[in-house]
Structure 1
Amino acid sequence: MAHLRVLAMLALLTVLLLASAAWAGGTFQGVASCAGSTCHGRSEGDGKVVRQDELMQWQEPSSKGGAHSRAYAALTSPRGQKILSALSLGKAESASACLGCHATNAGAGERGGRFRLTDGVGCESCHGAASGWISSHYAVPATHVSNIAQGMIPLENPKARASVCLDCHFGSSKTGQFVTHSMMAAGHPRVAFELDLFSDLQRHWDDDADYRQRKGRGDSVRLWAVGQAEAVQRSLSLFQQPQFASEGIFPEFYFYDCHSCHRSIDDQPNRARTFETNPGRPMTFGLPPYNDENIIMLSAVAQVLAPGQAGAFDAASRQFHAAMGEGRPQAVAAASRLRAAAASLSSALAARQGSADSAFAVVDAIAGRVIAPRFTDYTGSAQAVMAVDTLLNSMVRQGRVTVGAAAGIRANINRAYAAVASPSSYDPPAFRAALGQAAGAIGSLR
């Protein structure tokens, strides 16, 4: 089995190397090129191989699944216009700081005849420029491997999918794909990322026998875990780059926990502190903490799925938080070590086939005595609720929990969501109690 796994990894590496040049180039054909009724433009998902109603799913106006198609329109909304005006970014169609994520922002020489910027985040934003594969990907001789070699991005691969999604849902060094603190001050929503949940919101494929034959069986726990590891790497990679590190004389507060500063303030002599000291952050008192929501989740999953690396990762995490109080050079060096530990975990998690009990064990770890005390802030707590919900859904998909049983404990999950419904009402002890109840309810189904 180990020999077969090595061969499979080598085959995937070969495919990725062949495709890397194609991903970097190609011409973007536009959403209309995928929209024929014999392709992805049907009104019902009754295709023999793929659903064929993917376009309808993409532009569904009443669900979060249609958010990609509405991305450009968000720039022209009243809120979008206020942000553009506050930042002096001009008109939506020329706001380069925004178009990297609110559209398939292909360069002028990369746009085919049917490409439209106003389509928002179209098919090719995720699947790659289609000029190399659009005319052949549906043909009988074509295979998924040959499509990838022609430039299609292998989104079934957790690392590849995470890389694509992180570009906009976390940030990248590409033009128009970094949400600054100034943007958030002007009204842009806070950036947060969870790969499996986001993937589920955009699900326009059926994980059926045909899909598994072409792309392999999906594993929600692995997808979630690799997403956490890749998010940690991406955050630290951007933090290490000087052009993203500061805003004038201030550090770029995008990297820090928003609500550590955005709290109620008064000068009354009997005022009480509205925060708790976090046991996972050995840092100078009073400094804003680095946003460690994904770091906490990765610590939890490492305990269960990669225990041999968990200690090294946690040590690097603590060193990084401590270095934030020492100076920029020390923080960058510590970030490099933590990023390497996260990369090692990502590779280990991507190669691991989860067992039937993996999701249960990870839920226990998130709400357990080691990790739960680190939920002292809103962002990490909100990430924990998404994780528990995601892992419960994976249990249902695996057949470990019935739909009815999951529905029966939904009230417990909803109480945990209610505990992070608003940053202004967030209470750490109350949240930890709600999380523990939710995890206990899930554990009772084991």
Structure 2
Amino acid sequence: MSATGGSRSLAPSAVWLVLALFVAVLAAGVAYAAARYEGVASCAGSTCHGRPEGNGKVVRQDELAHWQDPASQGGAHSRAYAVLAGRRGAQIAATLGLGDATSAPACLGCHSTDAPAAARGERYQQTDGVGCESCHGPSGGTWISSHYTMAGTHAANVAAGLIPLERPQVRAGVCLDCHFGSSQPGQFVTHRMMAAGHPRVSFELDLFSALQQHHDEDADYRQRKGRTDSVKLWAVGQAEAVRRSLALFQQPKLASQGLYPEFYFFDCHSCHRGIEDGPERKLTFEANPARPQPFATPPYNDENMILLSAAARVLAPAEAARFEAASKAFHAAMGSGRAEAVSAAGRLSASAGTLSSALASGAYGPDSAFKVIATIAGQAISPRFTDYAGSVQAVMAVDTLLNALVREGRVTVGAAAGIRADVNRAYAAVKGPNSYNPAQFRTALGAAARSVSALQ
């Protein structure tokens, strides 16, 4: 329709463009439908990623050994399925009436590469756990036969279906599916699961990426995929975690467990604290300047909101005030009702999305990590660390940003080791929720941040 309401014909060139786009979309759909999960074995050859030593000319080629490492966090994905058969997995499944945890759909969505039956290749094994294709995408019928050719390029591999994990927003989306939750089957850790014994869900993109990095970021890697900016990766991870949390919160099917709200979304330890019936009250609820909500109501888990506020102040100041206002409005709406909270969540999610794009496209100077660490422990943000979850997130941030400074040559390994005791004291302050003390934590965090700043 034209602006005046009359009909308008497409020019011949436009018709061909529409037809071309239609054919391209159709072809992409066919390719996607034909994609198969070929399993870890398809990557494990000695000429591919299964060498015992990392001496490949382009990539290390010992990536499988790192993925399988039984003694490090780097091997955690390969162990994900096996833990379902352990004592804890069996207890959780029995408590929830799931049957055998190793075949329970509620577990397999994150403890394995849970490919649809029709998309499983001959070498696919669900017992592999979280295999290569959980993160890189289904390889059969798409990129597996071309990604190692001499003429192959990373751009061509991505066009064929390889997931571009070097892009912070893309990587965050993939990781958050399991490490935070999604609406897909088997990818949401409910409060019932946690009550039955499942660990509390918490995630920080840069730190977790470092633990799972099976490659060297050498000149060839940077030529193909660009240099990883750890500050950017961390900040975008915070923004995408906020978006994901709010997106899930807005979905009616995830909003409640019968009469009760789905407590997954709330700060666990604001409720799970010691209760004593003595002559003197012992307040465990501490006022938080960023949460304008009624006294003693369970707060929404805002660990990523707090850290995103710190990131925005340093890395995207034009958006910082808007995000802060939306965050406070969301917390206030939590005291009004479900409809008001969902509406406010939508606005806050949009603000976090704007921040995510701004952070992903930003170019940061060599002092950015120093500035973010100082802001996290500074007077504007530190008073918000009143609860355990946010405090854990803050320690991880200081640690991962310090490591980034070391990798980038801004701080020497020896200097970082010299202040490790201060960082470890901050970690000790969040060793466990039962011993957590907000004031003591803020003191420890401040000392660690000052030690890092002294290295600038």
Q: TM-score interval w.r.t. the shorter chain?
A: over 0.9
State which of 146, 151, 156 in structure 1 corresponds to 2:166. Answer: 156
The amino acid of 2:322's aligned partner reads: A
Answering whether residue 106 of structure 2 is matched by residue 86 of structure 1, we say no
Question: Residue 364 of structure 1 corresponds to which residue in structure 2?
Answer: 374
Instruction: Tell whether the 8 Å contact from 2:306 to 2:390 is kept in structure 1 after alignment.
Output: yes
State which of 171, 180, 195 in structure 2 corresponds to 1:185. Answer: 195
Answering whether residue 293 of structure 2 is matched by residue 279 of structure 1, we say no
Answering whether residue 264 of structure 2 is matched by residue 257 of structure 1, we say no
Question: Residue 26 of structure 1 corresponds to which residue in structure 2?
Answer: 35
Residue by residue over 1:202-251, the C-alpha shift from the partner in whole angstroms, topping out at 9 and shown as x without a partner, is 01011110000000011000000000000000000000000001000000
Counterpart Cα distance in 2 of 1:24 and 1:103: 21
Residue by residue over 1:374-420, the C-alpha shift from the partner in whole angstroms, topping out at 9 and shown as x without a partner, is 00000000000000000000101111101111011000000000000
State which of 162, 172, 186 in structure 1 corresponds to 2:182. Answer: 172
Counterpart Cα distance in 1 of 2:73 and 2:102: 23
Counterpart Cα distance in 2 of 1:216 and 1:127: 17
Question: Residue 10 of structure 2 corresponds to which residue in structure 1?
Answer: none
The amino acid of 1:308's aligned partner reads: A
The amino acid of 1:146's aligned partner reads: A
Answering whether residue 439 of structure 2 is matched by residue 444 of structure 1, we say no
Instruction: Tell whether the 8 Å contact from 2:285 to 2:296 is kept in structure 1 after alignment.
Output: no
Counterpart Cα distance in 2 of 1:21 and 1:429: 58
Question: Residue 20 of structure 2 corresponds to which residue in structure 1?
Answer: none
Instruction: Tell whether the 8 Å contact from 1:283 to 1:322 is kept in structure 2 after alignment.
Output: yes
| Normalised TM-score (structure 2) | 0.93
Q: What residue ranges of structure 1 are gaps of 5+ in the alignment?
A: 1-15
Counterpart Cα distance in 2 of 1:325 and 1:43: 57
Question: Residue 51 of structure 1 corresponds to which residue in structure 2?
Answer: 60
The amino acid of 1:198's aligned partner reads: F
Question: Residue 214 of structure 2 corresponds to which residue in structure 1?
Answer: 204
State which of 100, 107, 112 in structure 1 corresponds to 2:121. Answer: 112
Answering whether residue 83 of structure 2 is matched by residue 74 of structure 1, we say yes
Counterpart Cα distance in 2 of 1:30 and 1:201: 22
Give aligned pairs, total: 432
1:271: how far off?
Answer: 2.5
Counterpart Cα distance in 1 of 2:426 and 2:68: 31
Measured on the aligned residues, the alpha-carbon RMSD in Å equals 1.6
1:94: how far off?
Answer: 2.4
Instruction: Tell whether the 8 Å contact from 1:58 to 1:69 is kept in structure 2 after alignment.
Output: yes
The amino acid of 1:64's aligned partner reads: Q
SS at match of 1:167: helix
State which of 427, 432, 445 in structure 2 corresponds to 1:435. Answer: 445
The amino acid of 1:283's aligned partner reads: Q
Answering whether residue 244 of structure 2 is matched by residue 234 of structure 1, we say yes
1:268: how far off?
Answer: 1.2
Where does 1:132-147 land on structure 2 (aligned, <5 Å)? 132-147=142-157
Counterpart Cα distance in 1 of 2:169 and 2:59: 23
Deviates more, 1:332-341 or 1:82-91: 82-91
Show structure 1 runs of 4+ deviating over 2 A.
Answer: 16-25
Counterpart Cα distance in 2 of 1:288 and 1:275: 9
Instruction: Tell whether the 8 Å contact from 1:154 to 1:160 is kept in structure 2 after alignment.
Output: yes
Deviates more, 1:323-332 or 1:91-100: 91-100
Instruction: Tell whether the 8 Å contact from 2:143 to 2:162 is kept in structure 1 after alignment.
Output: yes
Distance 1:95 1:32, change over 3 A: same
Counterpart Cα distance in 2 of 1:436 and 1:114: 52
State which of 256, 272, 282 in structure 2 corresponds to 1:246. Answer: 256
Residue by residue over 1:19-71, the C-alpha shift from the partner in whole angstroms, topping out at 9 and shown as x without a partner, is 89866761000000000000000011111000100000001000011000000
SS at match of 1:134: coil
Question: Residue 377 of structure 1 corresponds to which residue in structure 2?
Answer: 387
| Normalised TM-score (structure 1) | 0.95
Question: Residue 223 of structure 2 corresponds to which residue in structure 1?
Answer: 213
1:97: how far off?
Answer: 0.6
Question: Residue 7 of structure 1 corresponds to which residue in structure 2?
Answer: none
Question: Residue 330 of structure 1 corresponds to which residue in structure 2?
Answer: 340
Instruction: Tell whether the 8 Å contact from 1:23 to 1:128 is kept in structure 2 after alignment.
Output: no
Residue by residue over 1:149-184, the C-alpha shift from the partner in whole angstroms, topping out at 9 and shown as x without a partner, is 111000000011000000000000110000000000
State which of 354, 360, 376 in structure 2 corresponds to 1:344. Answer: 354
Question: Residue 4 of structure 1 corresponds to which residue in structure 2?
Answer: none
Which is higher, the Rg of structure 1 or of structure 2? 2
Distance 1:428 1:66, change over 3 A: same
SS at match of 2:80: helix
The amino acid of 2:407's aligned partner reads: R
Distance 1:18 1:376, change over 3 A: farther
The amino acid of 2:98's aligned partner reads: L
1:284: how far off?
Answer: 1.1
Counterpart Cα distance in 1 of 2:208 and 2:119: 28
1:274: how far off?
Answer: 1.8
Distance 1:418 1:23, change over 3 A: farther
SS at match of 1:278: coil
Percentage of matched positions with identical amino acids: 68
State which of 403, 406, 412 in structure 2 corresponds to 1:402. Answer: 412
Residue by residue over 1:262-316, the C-alpha shift from the partner in whole angstroms, topping out at 9 and shown as x without a partner, is 0101221203212311111000112100000000000000000011110000000
Q: What residue ranges of structure 2 are gaps of 5+ in the alignment?
A: 1-24
Question: Residue 123 of structure 1 corresponds to which residue in structure 2?
Answer: 132
Counterpart Cα distance in 1 of 2:411 and 2:29: 40
Distance 1:373 1:50, change over 3 A: same
The amino acid of 1:79's aligned partner reads: R
